[in-house]
Amino acid sequence: MNIFDPYLDVIKKAVDKDPKYSNRFFSDSPDEDYDLGYIQDLRSELPGLENLNESVQLVKGHGTPTITNLPKLGHHPDFGHLRGTTNTEKHWIISGFIDVQKSTQLHNRFTLATVALITEGIVKASIFAVNLCGGYVHRIQGDGLMVYFGGKNIEKSQATRDALKAFSMISYFVKNDLKDYFESNGVKDIYTRTGIDLGHDNQVLWMYSGLGESGEVTTCSLHTSLAPKMQATALSNGIVVGQHIFNQLSSTEKYFKQKPKPIWDHEDGRFYNHYDFNWERYLVDNDFAKQNIDGDLILNIGDSIKPTLNPTYLSPIAKTSKPYFKTQ
């Protein structure tokens, strides 16, 4: 079972039932003319906490604890004590931005209710991947996320690997599961772009920004600001990382390709580089994905049940390969 199947299955149901899409050549009716009562039922099918824990149990090699509650948006548990105060604190963090591009074309194909459900499905799947890998969703922006990885009880190298894994999984979901289904329904060129960067202790200031309840515990850092700039330079379904992320991995030559122009000029003779990240190879090398006979990437996370070999289906093949086949 692909851990993203529960999200994809609901999105498929919404698309298949959408009356605007099924009547796209014959009707210009407004959404109000359609009976969309089924959408509410489909929204309730998107995984909640109970479903998340069922998926967690499928994931091998993570040691992931049961999810009892998801962190609040705009809140990192290690810095929650800053909320509502004027205090600040320096501490490293990894900032990541991921956004689904060209998703606005969905409005040309489907009712607003279906577009909202598709967006909700993508966001919930992304939140699950981030929390599964130990990250914190800081902000939701349409069908995009701002995310933190790291904290006071984790090493930078581990947080880096967690961030790369989470964003690779989300990129896989949109590039493969969603893209294949959307293209079969005439929706093309929907893809993700991701930017990730690491700011060290002396480069990140944590603080409470806002007024009263209209605020969040957030960071002020060049490297938090550079992450979305890197996102803008990413290729279709690409992930771009900063030099500090690059420095955290020992095997870099097979995963990273330096961009021709630096992402930042410090104006003192120093430049800050950024790199395209080969997330597909990273997933395969770390046993999070595998390639089938056609070279297609198959997400391997959660595939803990080995398929059984049915003699009924094996017999016709084995008959042509005697003496390995025995008739009964």
Task: Determine the pLDDT at residue 49.
Answer: 64
Does 90 have pLDDT greater than 80?
yes
Local confidence band at 310 (pLDDT 50, 70, 90 cut-offs): very low
Query: Is residue 252 one of the residues assigned to a domain?
Result: yes
Measured between alpha carbons, how far is 18 from 94 in angstroms, rounded to an integer? 39
Query: Is residue 326 one of the residues assigned to a domain?
Result: no
**Cα-Cα-Cα-Cα dihedral sign, residues 248, 256, 204, 124:** negative
The mean pLDDT value for 174-182 works out to: 87
Q: Tell me the one-letter amino acid at 114.
A: T
Contact 247, 255 (CB under 8 A): no
Query: Is residue 241 one of the residues assigned to a domain?
Result: yes
Does 313 have pLDDT greater than 80?
no
The mean pLDDT value for 253-281 works out to: 95
Provide the number of structural domains found in the chain. 1
Close Cβ partners of 84 (under 8 Å, ≥ 6 residues apart):
208, 212, 215
Q: Which helix (H) or strand (E) holds 307?
A: none
Close Cβ partners of 308 (under 8 Å, ≥ 6 residues apart):
none
Query: Is residue 74 one of the residues assigned to a domain?
Result: yes
Task: Determine the pLDDT at residue 118.
Answer: 92
Helices and strands: H and E segment counts in the chain: 11, 14
Task: Determine the pLDDT at residue 183.
Answer: 83
CA atoms within 13 A on the CB side of 217: 22
The mean pLDDT value for 266-274 works out to: 96
The mean pLDDT value for 136-143 works out to: 90
Range with the poorest average pLDDT among 54-58, 61-65, 108-112, 308-312: 308-312
For tokens 């009707």, what's the residue? Answer: 27
pLDDT greater at residue 144 or residue 87: 87
Task: Determine the pLDDT at residue 188.
Answer: 78
Task: Determine the pLDDT at residue 51.
Answer: 58
For a pLDDT cut of 90, what percent of the chain falls above it?
A: 51
Enclosing domain of residue 280: 5-319
Full DSSP string of 291-319: E-TTS-EEE-TT--SPPPP-HHHHHHHHH
Query: Is residue 324 one of the residues assigned to a domain?
Result: no
Three-class DSSP category at 94: strand
Range with the poorest average pLDDT among 7-16, 68-77, 170-179: 68-77
Instruction: Indicate the pairing of strand 191-199 with strand 214-220.
Output: unpaired
The mean pLDDT value for 70-80 works out to: 85
The mean pLDDT value for 157-176 works out to: 94
Task: Determine the pLDDT at residue 291.
Answer: 77
Q: Which two tokens stand for residue 304?
A: 């803990």
For a pLDDT cut of 70, what percent of the chain falls above it?
A: 80
Measured between alpha carbons, how far is 18 from 10 in angstroms, rounded to an integer? 12
The pTM score is 0.84
CATH of the domain at 134: 3.30.70.1230
Does 191 have pLDDT greater than 50?
yes
Measured between alpha carbons, how far is 145 from 280 in angstroms, rounded to an integer? 21
Does 67 have pLDDT greater than 50?
yes
Query: Is residue 59 one of the residues assigned to a domain?
Result: yes
**Cα-Cα-Cα-Cα dihedral sign, residues 271, 272, 278, 284:** positive
Local confidence band at 308 (pLDDT 50, 70, 90 cut-offs): very low
Task: Determine the pLDDT at residue 2.
Answer: 74
Local confidence band at 66 (pLDDT 50, 70, 90 cut-offs): low
For tokens 């090493």, what's the residue? Answer: 155
Query: Is residue 238 one of the residues assigned to a domain?
Result: yes
Query: Is residue 148 one of the residues assigned to a domain?
Result: yes
For tokens 């904290």, what's the residue? Answer: 151
| Length of the chain as a residue count | 328
Does 321 have pLDDT greater than 50?
no
